[in-house]
Amino acid sequence: MKYSLEEHLQTGETVVLGEPFLDLLVAKVIASQRAFRTGRVVVVRDDEKSDEVARYEPSGEPLSGSVQRLRAAGVFGAPSEPTGREKTSA
């Protein structure tokens, strides 16, 4: 899948930013940083379905629905896989 970034201007216009990303997590990080840096709303959109995947406010924080969707997908806040290097008590 490909994910595009859209910046929403104060005039009500929407501008598509650059080329689509193949990785959703990368698209979300870039969108969050851009929203924080520019002070504008940035949306991550699924190119295939045209669905809004995440919306970032100028604070850089996703709206609560975006966080819930990430957690449901297991992308955000999921426990990490054990690496075998963790300390264990004997």
Q: According to the model, what pLDDT value does residue 78 have?
A: 45
**Which residue would you say has higher pLDDT here, 20 or 79?**
20
pLDDT at site 85: 52
How many C-beta atoms surround the C-beta of residue 76 within 10 A? 15
> Residues 27-82: pLDDT tens digits?
999 999 999 899 999 999 999 998 999 999 887 556 555 555 555 555 545 444 55
Q: What is the pTM of this model?
A: 0.64
Q: What single letter denotes the amino acid at residue 17?
A: L
Cα–Cα distance for residue pair 31/11, rounded to 1 Å: 19
pLDDT of residue 41: 92
